[in-house]
Copies of this chain bind each other. A is one copy, B any other.
Amino acid sequence: MGSTSLFEDEPDGTQEAIMQATYRALCEHGYAGLTIQRIGDEFPKSKSLLYHHYDGKDALLLEFLSFMLERFEATIPDREHDDARDHLEAILDHALPTDLDSERAEFRAAMVELRAQAATDEAYREHFSRNDRFFRRRLAAVVRRGIEEGVFRDVDPERAAAMMLSAIHGAMQEEATTDTERTAAVRNELRAYVESRLVAPDDESEAIE
């Protein structure tokens, strides 16, 4: 999940400069082509700093993933929305944008590669378990709020969140690994799902079973 404001500002310190270099190298080379050397090429300060701090590219990437997850968390549309339905739709639009510039598209593709490492690497697996738990809970909380407010039907919030998150992940994966762009179709059909499955009929909005 997540197209976000990434590195638009100058980095604040060394750690942020390293993260920014990692982001750029990842966009340019993908996970498969990434090396500490190539991250160093994007790093304005002493490269020996990089070599001393990290025991290989995966150690650096895991720190990068934690750093990015915190940023993602901060950019998810929050409760400024009056209505749980508007809020949920804002999250879906945020998670499945269709106006990605090439850098962000490359970054999302690199994230699909990083996630695949979790199939065989326990540290990546822990990260993505935490990542998914966070986003699933966020989605479930919005659904739960909608139910409490009578805007949504009395569905299982966890189950609805699981399906929406899977559809988001699948669309991101397909976008990164095929020539067929289906992100807009998936987002629009998720909106139709919200309408038909979640939104409570008007005349029942006061007392939903």
Chain A residues near B (Cβ < 8 Å): 30-33, 109-110, 112-113, 115-121, 124-126, 128-129, 132-133, 136, 155-156, 158-160, 162-163, 165-171, 173-174, 176-180, 182, 185-186, 188-190, 192-193, 196-197
Contacts and interface: CB of A to CB of B under 8 A. Distances in A.
Given A110-B119, A173-B169, A196-B196, A162 B178 contact: no
A177 B128 contact: yes
Given A119-B113, A120-B32, A174 B169 contact: yes
B166 A170 contact: yes
Contact of A174 (B132, B192, B197): B132
How many monomers of this chain does the complex have? 2
Contact of A118 (B129, B178, B197): B178
A135 to B, nearest CB: 11
A177 B32 contact: no
Main DSSP-derived SS at the A contact region: helix
Nearest to A111: B119
Contact of A177 (B31, B125, B185): B125
B190 A163 contact: yes
10 contacts: A113-B120, A118-B178, A128-B177, A132-B174, A136-B182, A155-B192, A159-B189, A162-B171, A166-B171, A169-B169
A159 B132 CA distance: 25
B167 A120 contact: no
A178 B162 CA distance: 13
A125 B176 CA distance: 9
A97 B156 CA distance: 21
A166 B162 contact: no
A100 to B, nearest CB: 14
B166 A166 contact: yes
Contacts of A185: 158-159, 162-163
